Structure formats: C-alpha cells, structure tokens
C-alpha cells in the first residue's frame, strides 16, 4: 500500500506518550494513514470508528478505570502492558478527550486519532489535551507524492525540501512530468482520484467528495441554518480564487452580514476546503496588513465548481504545492507592486504562465527592497532559464 510523506514523519512519534491526531479534508487518506501506522506498532491494538454510534458505547461509562479494563480485555493485554487505541472520526464524540487524557496520564496508552476538521478539533477539543497531543495535517497529495503514486518518483524523494527543487531540474525528465502536471492541475490530489485512470470516473469521484462535504461536515456546524448560503458563497469564491477577498462585496452579493461571511470563511478554512493566505507585513510598509487571498485546496474541486483560466489554475496549483514547504504569504503595495508568494519570509516567488525578462527584473528589485534573500519565477514557458523554477519540479 502506497504511503504518504506524512507517514514517515509521524512514524518517528509512535513511541512517544502523546496522542497522535491526524486531521485534514475528507477522503485525503487519514484512515488509510492510521491503518499504516497501526501496522508498524509493535504491540496489541484496538480500533474504533466513531461514524458508527455502536463504537461509542465502551467510552460512555463514567468510570474511566472500567473503560481501561474493558479496552485491555478487548486487546488481550496484560496489566501494565502498553497498547494502541485507534479512533477514526473523533469529532463525532468530543467528550472522549477527557477520557483520553486520563488514560494517557494513568495507563500510558497510545492513541492515534483522526478528525475531518481543524475547525472541529479546535472548538471541540478542550484544553485537557494540551501538551498531550501531536497534531498533523494531511493534505491532498503534493505533486511529489502524485509522481510517486504514478511510479515516476522514488519514495526517498517525496518529502518536501525546497533546497532540492533546483537540483531536480537536471535529475528527472521534463516531458513525462509536464504531462502528469497537466493531469494534476485538472483533477487535483485526492488519492482515490489520482489512482483512478478513467477521466470520467475521476470527475464522478470528485462530485461524491463535494457531496460528502455537504452531507457530513456541515451537519457538525450547528450555527449553519441555511446550506444554500454556504453553497452560494463557495460558488462566488470560485471565480475569485487567487484574489484578495472583498468581504463587503461578498456580503452585498449574498445579502448576508459581514460577520456571517467571516464565520463561513473560518469554517471553510477549518475543514481545509480552502486556504486564506495573509499579506506580508514589514516595517517598510505597515499598510500592507489586511485582506487575505483565497485559494481552493484542491484544483479538482475548483474545476468542478467553476470554469478556471489556465493562469489561475497554475497559480492555485503552485500555491497548494508551496504550502507543503512552509509558511506562505503574499505582498501587495496599494496595487502598485506585488509578489504572488513569499515562502518562509525569505523566498519571493512570482507565478507566470509566460515569463519574460522584465518579470524577473521587477521581482528582483522588489525582493531587494523587502530584504528577501532569494527570488524565483515559477513558469511553464520562461523566456530565460535564469532564476526559473518549472512548476512540475516543486
């Protein structure tokens, strides 16, 4: 079974006392990842799926010691033996966090937990697990993982490392990567979509993923009274993808107040449906603080929702790739000077479908002004190869 890059990061923490919490969009592979981690656990284990209410029963006792004894008996462990408890979709039973804390503190049990939303985990997880959990976000496949799933990259190269990006230009063939990148842009990075060869079936799977978002995620968002409002907001955000959000205009077009828009955006970001990239702030110009740019987290979903230009699709794909490498912001000075992305505060990146020498000159000048150490143009068809990164090598 193919493993995600995150597997190798989490595997190192299996023996630590803290609970491992894996969150991310629906159908990005959280359950599969948990199963793979359980397979390398050296000891007894037990599994619960909290989408099934019957799996809640064992944890409904008020006696936490009884819960431990029932778990131990179910695994066949002897008293004092450490064992693993895996729980899928933990947001369906938020009260369990106090039980987990008790079982970690008193019996040193190891937990692996999954939840479909950072929004839920932040709002439903009490402070009782503070200092007792490692939180990991599983995203749709990065392009490196996409290549690995398509047998075009060894597993040793799937970990994100921006320092290696330039070196990869000479290490791998461009032609095959270009073909696969086109597919990656059009259909995104959900594992089931990636592993399905038929294009029509890919689209059907994406429609099911989008439907499950409304059928499952929204049910937990108790403040939402009208699903139509959220649907209409998503449809408005589609054509605005890659742009700075104008809350006032969205509020006017939807006929709902600004606070609701902010709440909906917080929810959509919390379930990883989209990302909101903040502005770069620096002493050189404090006026840049303010609005955020919106990017859909998966281009397959984006293409399902709206007709997207080639340039917009490229920028969104690059944005999602860059998020695997660290913190991402953008720069905009009163619409007179801008940088598409600044990675980890020291790499300025401009995305161009067709890049000319003037683009590189402008980027270099602005990066120097902001005291940003490195700068590159990301382009499919550059006029020059100096300071150029092809997107299929990210």
Q: Are 138 and 22 in contact (CB under 8 A)?
A: yes
Domain count, the chain: 2
Q: What is the largest CA-CA distance in the chain?
A: 71
Angstrom distance (rounded) from CA 386 to CA 297 = 30
CA geometry: angle 318, 319, 323, nearest 5 deg = 115
Claim to verify: residue 296 and residue 164 sit in the same structural domain = yes
- State which residues form the domain around 86: 5-137
Q: For 282, list phi and psi in degrees, rounded to 5.
A: -150, 155
Q: Which of 75-84, 130-139, 275-284 has the lowest mean pLDDT?
A: 275-284
Angstrom distance (rounded) from CA 20 to CA 88 = 12
Claim to verify: residue 11 and residue 106 sit in the same structural domain = yes
Angle between helix 247-254 and 227-240 (nearest 10): 130
Claim to verify: residue 248 and residue 161 sit in the same structural domain = yes
Question: Is pLDDT of 358 > 50?
Answer: yes
Angstrom distance (rounded) from CA 246 to CA 349 = 24
Question: Is pLDDT of 147 > 70?
Answer: yes
Claim to verify: residue 262 and residue 279 sit in the same structural domain = yes
**Residues 188-212 pLDDT 10s:** 999 999 999 999 999 999 999 998 8
Average pLDDT of the residues in 375-383 = 90
Claim to verify: residue 17 and residue 124 sit in the same structural domain = yes
| Domain limit, last residue, from 137, 163, 189 | 137
- Sequence-ordered list of residues with C-beta below 8 angstroms from that of 67, at least 6 positions apart, any chain: 58, 59, 61, 99, 103
Confidence at residue 233, expressed as pLDDT on a 0 to 100 scale: 94
Question: Is pLDDT of 135 > 50?
Answer: yes
Q: Which of 54-58, 179-183, 263-267 has the lowest mean pLDDT?
A: 263-267
Claim to verify: residue 242 and residue 271 sit in the same structural domain = yes
Claim to verify: residue 123 and residue 262 sit in the same structural domain = no
Claim to verify: residue 317 and residue 300 sit in the same structural domain = yes
Q: Which of 121-135, 198-212, 305-319, 336-350 has the lowest mean pLDDT?
A: 121-135
- Identify the band that residue 170 occupies on the pLDDT scale cut at 50, 70 and 90: low
Answer with the residue of higher pLDDT: 242 or 217.
242
Nearest to 298 by CA among 195, 188, 196, 142: 188
Angstrom distance (rounded) from CA 346 to CA 145 = 25
Claim to verify: residue 267 and residue 386 sit in the same structural domain = yes
| CATH number for position 20 | 3.40.50.300
Q: Which DSSP string corresponds to 96-146?
A: HHHHHHHHHHHH--EEEEEES-HHHHHHHS-GGGTTSEEEEEPPSPPHHHH
Confidence at residue 285, expressed as pLDDT on a 0 to 100 scale: 45
**Residues 59-115 pLDDT 10s:** 999 999 999 999 999 999 999 999 999 999 988 888 888 899 999 999 999 999 998
Nearest to 137 by CA among 267, 323, 322: 323
Angstrom distance (rounded) from CA 67 to CA 93 = 15
Claim to verify: residue 238 and residue 116 sit in the same structural domain = no
Q: Which of 44-58, 216-230, 281-295 has the lowest mean pLDDT?
A: 281-295
Claim to verify: residue 123 and residue 186 sit in the same structural domain = no
pTM value is 0.90
| Domain limit, last residue, from 137, 165, 198 | 137
Claim to verify: residue 93 and residue 201 sit in the same structural domain = no
| Domain limit, last residue, from 119, 137, 155 | 137
């Amino acid at each position: 079974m193919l493993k995600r890059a995150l597997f190798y990061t989490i595997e190192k923490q299996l023996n630590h006392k803290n609970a491992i919490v894996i969150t991310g969009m629906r159908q990005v592979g959280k359950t599969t990842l948990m199963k793979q981690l359980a397979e390398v656990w050296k000891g007894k284990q037990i599994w619960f799926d909290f989408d099934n209410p019957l799996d809640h029963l064992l944890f409904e006792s008020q006696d936490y010691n009884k819960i431990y004894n029932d778990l131990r008996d179910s695994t066949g462990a002897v008293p004092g033996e450490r064992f693993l408890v895996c729980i899928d979709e933990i947001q369906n039973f938020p009260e369990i966090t106090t039980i987990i804390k008790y079982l970690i503190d008193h019996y040193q049990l190891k937990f692996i937990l999954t939840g479909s939303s950072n929004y839920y985990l932040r709002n439903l997880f009490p402070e009782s697990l503070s200092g007792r959990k490692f939180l990991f976000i599983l995203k749709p496949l990065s392009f490196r993982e996409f290549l690995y799933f398509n047998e075009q990259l060894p597993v040793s190269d799937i970990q994100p490392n921006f320092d290696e990006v330039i070196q990869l230009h000479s290490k791998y063939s461009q032609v095959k990567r270009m073909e696969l990148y086109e597919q990656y842009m059009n259909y995104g990075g959900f594992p089931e979509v990636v592993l399905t060869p038929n294009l029509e079936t890919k689209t059907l799977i994406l429609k099911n993923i989008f439907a499950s978002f409304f059928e499952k995620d929204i049910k937990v968002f108790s403040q939402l009274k009208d699903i139509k409002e959220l649907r209409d907001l998503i449809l408005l955000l589609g054509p605005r993808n890659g742009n700075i959000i104008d809350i006032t205009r969205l509020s006017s077009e939807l006929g709902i107040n600004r606070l609701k828009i902010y709440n909906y955006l917080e929810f959509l970001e919390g379930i990883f449906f989209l990302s909101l990239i903040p502005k770069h702030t620096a002493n050189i110009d404090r006026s840049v603080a303010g609005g955020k740019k919106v990017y859909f987290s998966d281009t397959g979903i984006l293409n399902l929702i709206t007709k997207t230009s080639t340039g917009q699709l490229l920028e969104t794909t690059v944005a999602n790739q860059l998020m695997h490498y660290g913190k991402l912001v953008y720069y905009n000075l009163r619409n007179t000077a801008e940088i598409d992305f600044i990675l980890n505060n020291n790499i300025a990146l401009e995305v161009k479908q067709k890049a000319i020498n003037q683009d590189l000159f402008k980027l270099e000048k602005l990066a120097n002004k902001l005291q940003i150490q490195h700068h590159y143009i990301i382009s499919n068809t550059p006029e020059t190869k100096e300071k150029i990164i092809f997107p299929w090598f990210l």
